[in-house]
Amino acid sequence: MGVCFSSRIKAESPYHTGVNSRRVSSDGNGINSSSTKFSSSVPPTPRSEDEILQSSNLKSFSFADLKTSTRNFRPDSVLGEGGFGAVFKGWIDEQSLLAAKPGTGLVIAVKRLNQESFQGHKEWLAEVNYLGQLHHPHLVKLIGYCLEDEHRLLVYEFMPRGSLENHLFRRGSYFQPLSWNLRMKVALGAAKGLAFLHSAKTKVIYRDFKTANILLDSDYNAKLSDFGLAKDGPIGDESHVSTRVMGTYGYAAPEYLATGHLTARSDVYSFGVVLLEMISGRRAIDKNRPSGEHNLVEWAKPYLVNKRKVFRIVDNRLQGQYTLDVAHKAANIALRCISTDPKFRPHMDEVVKELEQLQNSKTTGNTQRNPNSQQRYRRRSTGDATDAKAVPYPRPSASPL
């Protein structure tokens, strides 16, 4: 397309954020119609700002209350920063939702729009619209918002473990490497969140699926966050949604980059990239790697198709935690998701079923090690059976929460 991409692809902020005008909720299974509960009210789309704010079941906070709950947005309350602005830790009373003393009541994460932010008001409104209507155990819960004068803020549930990005790529005592089992648990939870968004009742394309937007609660349950780029999926006989390219470089599907045609399978490609990151411990794009290894998908593909070579892409910190058969099955899921032709990518409900089977499988056999390497000390990973120590609260660098 002749477009110069930065790390985050930004070309427009969508205004059509009607979620097909449905109020949707799920009990968490979100795949089979028998286990998914929906209620709907159908105002016309696209909805106006007033309609979005009035129809949501969200708490409208005053700026003064959020200022108090975050201790005046003190620097030591910052949890992270992104394109939208900074995210602060705060406390509110569980019943009244009014500001509470630090250390008491309900812990929250308050995202404050930077006045110079290029993402701006429309993405703030998109988050209110989508997360005000969509409810699922694998979507982060939006408690409320603040729209007062020039102030734009969003109030979320607090996610104690921070972002998946930090656990995979940051080093230090706060971030022990996630074990293989925890990585597969997170992958399954994130897949369930995407499958819910893509379901026939919801039909939402997330458009910015990446490790920074997958947040973890205290039990490492994954929840999708940051819906500023979300888009209603195609309706009727339409095969795609035409839009300017937005998202994050390295995660965006090739056909979307080339044509601007957005489908649910664009998200599937992004999921495949993230699954590869979880298996390999490598970033989607890493210019610090040797030549030929900058792009994770291009580097990994030759190894994914050969069961005997799969171990070469698996994170070295996971030695002894997986069998070759299980690693190959996980790699095969990733390979299908990143197919160049979107028609060959699976639907997310298929991915969920395969990951569930992988998690429930009782595969036997010796754990796989690189046969060319000598046995060496392996740093214990978070989630190992003998690891009973809790991980301190992480400080995300660019996580939405």
Which of 332, 394, 360 lies closest to 181, judged by CA? 360
CA dist list (Å): 112 to 121, 344, 398, 400? 11, 40, 14, 10
Which of 3, 11, 9, 5 lies closest to 247, judged by CA? 9
Neighbouring C-beta atoms of residue 242, cutoff 10 Å: 10
217 labelled catalytic:
no
Return the CA Rg of the chain: 21
Is the CB of residue 103 less than 8 Å from the CB of residue 166? Answer: no
Residue 54: CA atoms inside 13 Å, Cβ hemisphere, count? Answer: 6
Among residues 76, 93, 149, 208, the one annotated as catalytic is 208
Q: Cβ-count burial of 295 within 10 angstroms (0-12 exposed, 13-18 middle, 19+ buried)?
A: middle
111 is in an annotated binding site: yes
Neighbouring C-beta atoms of residue 48, cutoff 10 Å: 12
List of residues 6+ apart from 46 with CB closer than 8 A: 15, 16, 17, 18
Q: Cβ-count burial of 217 within 10 angstroms (0-12 exposed, 13-18 middle, 19+ buried)?
A: middle
Q: If you write DSSP's letter for every residue of 10-55 in order, what string do you get? A: -S-------GGG--EE--S--SSGGG--B------SSPPHHHHHHH
Which of 17, 25, 24 lies closest to 51, judged by CA? 17
CA 6, 8, 10: angle at the middle one, nearest 5?
Answer: 90
Q: Give the span between the Cα atoms of 59 and 47, in whole angstroms.
A: 19
- Kindly report each contact of residues 303-309 with a partner whose C-beta sits within 8 Å and lies 24 or more positions away, as own/partner: 303/331, 304/331, 304/332, 304/334, 304/335, 305/335
The letter for the amino acid at 182 is L
- Binding residue numbers: 111
- Binding residue numbers for ATP: 111
Tell me which residues are annotated as active site.
Answer: 208
